[in-house]
Amino acid sequence: MAGMADDIKCVLYSEDLIKDTVSVLAERINSDYRDKEPLLVGILKGSFVFMADLIRKIDLKCSVDFMIVSSYGSGRSSTGAVKINKDLSEDIEGRDVILIEDILDSGLTLSYLIKYLQVRKPASIKICTLLDKPARRATDITPDYSGIICPDEFIVGYGLDYSEKYRNLPYIGVLKPEAYT
C-alpha cells in the first residue's frame, strides 16, 4: 500500500519554514497582548496542530477554547453554509479573543463566526491564520496575524486535510489531483 507522501505532488512549506512562521506569529501576539490575557479559540479540526505549536510559543497568561465549525463537508471547497457543531465553553464578554485558524480561504466561515461572536460583547476579536489564500476570498475579511500567503493550490498537511486524511504530515504539500478525483 502506498504511503501518504506518494499522494503529494510537491512540498510547498517545509517543517522548518512552518516552525519559523509560528515563532514570528507568536512574537507579534506576545507584543500586542503584553498586558492582557487573551482567549485563544481554535477552529477545529484544522487548527489543532498549528494552535498547539503556537500556544507553546506564546508567553502570556492566556486561556484556550475550541469551536467545531463546518462549511466544507467532505468536498474541496466551502459550501458557504456554516454549521457550529461545538460552541465555546467560556463566556467571552469583555475578553480579547483571538480566533486561530489553519487557513483563511474564502473567508465565509470566519466572517460568519465574527458576527456570531460579536453578539457576546467581547472586548476584541482578532484572526490569526497560518496560511492566507487571498485568491479564494469571497468576503471582505483580512487576518490580523497572517503567516504565509499561499497560492491557489489544493494543499494538505500540518492539520489541513482532504476527507479527514493527511492532517498528520509534518509539512504542507500540494495534493496530486489523482488523490481527490
Q: What residues act catalytically?
A: 105
Question: Burial level of 17, CB count in 10 A (0-12/13-18/19+)?
Answer: middle
Separation CA 108–CA 141 (nearest Å): 9
Separation CA 34–CA 39 (nearest Å): 13
Provide the terminal-to-terminal Cα distance of the chain, rounded to the nearest Å.
19
Q: Quick check: helix, strand or coil at residue 91? A: coil
Helices 48-57 and 15-32 cross at an angle (nearest 10°) of: 60
Which residues are CB-neighbours of 56 under 8 A, at least 6 positions away? none
